[in-house]
Structure 1
Amino acid sequence: MKNTYKIVGFFMFLFTQVGISQDSDVAKQVKELSMNKWQWMAAKNVSELKDLFHPQAQFVHMGGSWGTDRELAIIGSGGIWYKKADVHSVSVDVIGDTAILLNQITLLAEVGGNEVTNPFMVTEVYVKEESGWKLANLSFVKLLTRKPGE
């Protein structure tokens, strides 16, 4: 009987480790997508962003909220130029086919011809589709401090 418990315990441990490994692989993949997104936004690479953004995605900024088409138009025209995102921390939670990523960043951007630097907590929601992970929501919340611990 003790051997049966040991075998069952071993398989429970094994399956738990496989689940953790899969979750960490997904988290790593989503983090990489997020970092690529910041680079594509800085380069105004609308074609890569169009592939990443879900057609029904929502974008929430200090100046309002809108959908994918408007976000791509704003990036392409330079209405908001995401020049550089210094990422201070990243966390990812995976819930089924949804990944929620939180970035604490300092963003250097050009908005309406004016260069600005702001600290943000950015929420990114990704959904898993047949073609891969798609960004469904990008929301910026301005923070009162610039970096963690300040």
Structure 2
Amino acid sequence: MTNILKCACCGARIADLSFLDWSDGETRPFECGECGCWTKVEASVSLETTSDAVETRDELRRLAMWNGCEFWYNTEGVLRIYPADDLGGRELAALWMAPETGYEEAAGLHVTVDGRPLPVDVYDGLVPREAAKVIWKRIGAIL
């Protein structure tokens, strides 16, 4: 990842910063070639893990919100999606993570739409945003 450092005084471009080669808490000074002003940059590095399954689930939750659907997570971490103003009524879809293989032949995100399992091969191999759109079309068909 690259970020562009600009001078706080004159706005000139000072450097392209790649955070991949910085240590957490490391400070480096940079001089502006235009006005001579010095700028210090301190790195704050944090790593976050994610997976396509988590990103697809999060994208589906966002699509549910944008389409006025109700949703909630139960105590087992299952995301349940309901039509607007029908929380607890007819369940449109349920999404959950299953780390073990065997359910629908793949580990990761598992989906039921209108109470029936959605085969993993419908969305497997797609980037999260596209996978969510494919699943959402199935959910939208029963709205």
Q: TM-score, normalised by structure 2?
A: 0.24
Of Structure 1 and Structure 2, the greater helix share is in: 1
Of Structure 1 and Structure 2, the greater strand share is in: 1
Q: Which has the larger radius of gyration?
A: 2
